[in-house]
Amino acid sequence: MSAAIAIGPADPRYPPRLLDLAHPPDPLWVRGEIAVPLERAVSIVGTRRATGYGLRVARELAAAAAAAGIVVVSGLAQGIDSAAHEGALERGRTVAVLGQGIAAYLARTNARRRRLAAEIVRAGALIAEYPPDAPAKDWTFARRNATIAALAEVVIVVEAPSDSGALITAAEARRLRRPLYAVPGPIGVAACAGSNALIASGEARALTGAEMLLASLGLASDGAVRRTDGDTGRILDALAASPLDPDALAKRLGLAAPALAQTLARLVISGEVRPCPDGRFARR
């Protein structure tokens, strides 16, 4: 990986939207291939302790935005952030904003996110407002969350419990007058309490799908939601909310196990359904 470079607010490569902040990061440390100004960007954030549904939605929204040429910004934490980066990497570019120095992050994160960080450097950039070896502190994450809001045109909270750091990003988005969306989640699930509260209070609009996200960025979606008929469509619908074990799936669809097995196997092979390590099945 190339070394990080430091750019100041006067630098033409400095992302102009950061100047909206009361105290723009100076300098900004960047490591990656991307042209940093980030003309078109959306931030997708949420809890580390996400549900299977939240992870899928984050991935799908990010992929749709990236496919439309929008850079997806997030914080490279486990959970929703990682899902957003992964989704974006499938179709386009993404930027991760770290709450500590870039080298410090890479030195202490786990192998999986180190791999993810390497891919982000190739298809985007790692950004930090702290020198490479600066360690993480509580307040560095709070500032980072505000920076994520400032970098984007539109901010999306996928899932956030009521004490989530993602709510700092949401508050900053309001202050900076960035359009703020939250993905509605089920009542009674802790991971969705904070994001649902944003919708209830009117601070955020309820996001109902990738088309709405693209519309908020002034783009048309690349096509209608693909409709699949028959058992295939019914299986995908049944798995939309959360991963299921085959018995529950068969029961919900009123299908006999053998009839289900072949269709489900085909969906697994085509990659539309993903087997979980615990033996359940989830929508990709």
Partner 1 sequence: MRDRAPIATDVIGESRSPTPEVKVRAVARVWACALWGLETALVTVEVDVANGLPAFVVVGLPDAAVQEARERVRAAIRNSGYEFPLRRVTVNLAPAERRKEGTGFDLAIALGILRASGQLAVDVEALCLGELALDGALRPVRGTMPRVRHALARGIAAALLASANAGEAAACGADAYGFGSLREAVDHVAGSARVAPTVAPAPAPPERPAVDLADIAGQETPKRALEIAAAGAHSLLLVGPPGTGKTMLARALPSLLPPLDHDEALAASAVHSVAGLVDPRHPLLRSRPFRAPHHTASPLALVGGGSPPRPGEVSLAHCGVLFLDELAEFSPSVLDTLREPLEERSITISRAGGAATYPARFLLVAAMNPCPCGHLGDPAVECRCLPDAVERYRGRLSGPLLDRIDLRVNVPRVPYERLRDEGRESSATVRGRVLAARERMAARLVGTARRTNAELTVADIRRWCRVDDDGETLLGAAIRERRLSARGYHRLLRVARTVADLAGSDQIRADDVAVALLMRA
Interacting residue ranges for partner 1, rule: CB under 8 A: 48-50, 78-79, 82, 110, 112, 189-190, 243, 245-248, 250, 257-258, 261-262, 264-266, 268-271, 275-281
* Cα gap 158→167, rounded to integer Å: 11
Q: How far is the CB of 283 from partner 1 (least distance, A)?
A: 14
Decide whether 200 or 265 has the Cβ nearer to partner 1. 265
Decide whether 188 or 218 has the Cβ nearer to partner 1. 188
What is the residue whose two structure tokens read 């902040």? 21
> Shortest CA distance to 42 belongs to which of 240, 283, 194, 210?
210
* Cα gap 122→94, rounded to integer Å: 10
Decide whether 11 or 247 has the Cβ nearer to partner 1. 247
Neighbours of 162 (CB within 10 A): 12
Q: How far is the CB of 259 from partner 1 (least distance, A)?
A: 9
- Write down the H helix ranges in the chain: 52-67, 80-91, 102-108, 111-122, 138-151, 166-175, 190-200, 210-216, 230-238, 246-253, 257-270
Decide whether 12 or 230 has the Cβ nearer to partner 1. 230
Decide whether 218 or 258 has the Cβ nearer to partner 1. 258
Q: How far is the CB of 258 from partner 1 (least distance, A)?
A: 5
* Residue 184 and residue 206 in contact, taking contact as beta carbons nearer than 8 Å: yes
Q: How far is the CB of 115 from partner 1 (least distance, A)?
A: 12
Q: How far is the CB of 139 from partner 1 (least distance, A)?
A: 22
